[in-house]
Structure 1
Amino acid sequence: MRARNLASFLLLAIIAAGTAAASAADANAPGERLLLVPPTGWAPVQLQRSEKMIVTRLYPPGQDEKSWTEILTVQIYPHSTQSARQFAESIVQYSRDACEAAGPGPISERPVNGYPMATVSVACSKGKTSGHGGFVLATAIQGKDALYAVQRQWRGPPFGPQDSPAFPADMLRQWSAFAQSVGLCDSRDTRHPCP
């Protein structure tokens, strides 16, 4: 199994079963599968699992909910009627409400493996509650069974509305490569083939 497929399999197993001890049978169950390659060494923590939403966060080594500079959040909304674009628009609106100044990029829409996908990035000069500056790259894919959202976030010192965030120089390149790894497939449907 190639490293990319193994990484995708591991995250799928975690999301499918809700624990790090998921079995191969759970990850190979027929249906839609969110595909992505999590950063090496990032640890998953499931935050919520209900009929309406499954939320899993991944943290870099040595970071957690209280002390992070980057996180990856995976959200699955079973039977959602929200479109991928509507989800991206909600990220922009949330940022405008939660930040002293929010600088959203354009919402980009394209199909991925036959599914509608929308992506948006937003810079937050200073969170009204957190006091941190931030940057998010959010991708949403509207599947048949659920809406799938993947958000990669950075937080650091606040910055002025006309300034750029002080994130690491190579971060945007890494995030762009990561965003290209996000996909969706359905083992039951040849129109959306799984790798």
Structure 2
Amino acid sequence: MKIIKTRFNITKLPAGKVVRQFDIDNIAEKSFVKKFGDKPAYMGYGMEGSGSLAARDYAEKVANRVYFKKLKSELIKTRKITATGVKSLKSSGTKITKTGLRIGKARGAMKADIIARTEADTAMDRIMERYTTRKAKSFRSAEVKPRFISNENKAAMGFTTERKFAPSAKVATQEDIYALARSERKVKYKKPKIKTSKSNFQTEFKSYISKEFKL
């Protein structure tokens, strides 16, 4: 075993400061008071409830402003892309229909709306986290944890663990399941015939979009 000694003195660095939740809450409260003033407690609202309502109101106003500003700039970009595609089609001699042009503009507008909405949601989350230390999550996108119910509680609610047929109260046995499967195998399904015409608008539109606009 060999021990190597260095010429320099070894200095031990002090431990870094860990940010605690209490410090985060204090920073959020100070920034809230600086922006909105003291938190009011009136008409049954607590300090926390009234503060979150004021922060959400401000965050929604900023999100709306960011959304419309970003939507305008993105619409200009998508319209330029559509105009470039139309010019290239005209120069090549391809006929442009009004329906294809309308759908191309609509798709560009949808892309612009998605980009603007994402940026507005990000701005709203940042403001809510700054003033309340919580992000503004929509109730529609919130994940719901599955609730486990025991067999005793199911029986108390009126549910039974036995599998039954819908028309009658007969309990389904293994032989009944096999008989149902055999009867379903005997039925032959015919593939429906699709009427095709010489000028199919759907195929023309797909080839038109994929070749020229590349959306």
Larger radius of gyration: 2
TM-score, shorter chain, exceeding 0.5? no
Higher helix proportion: 2
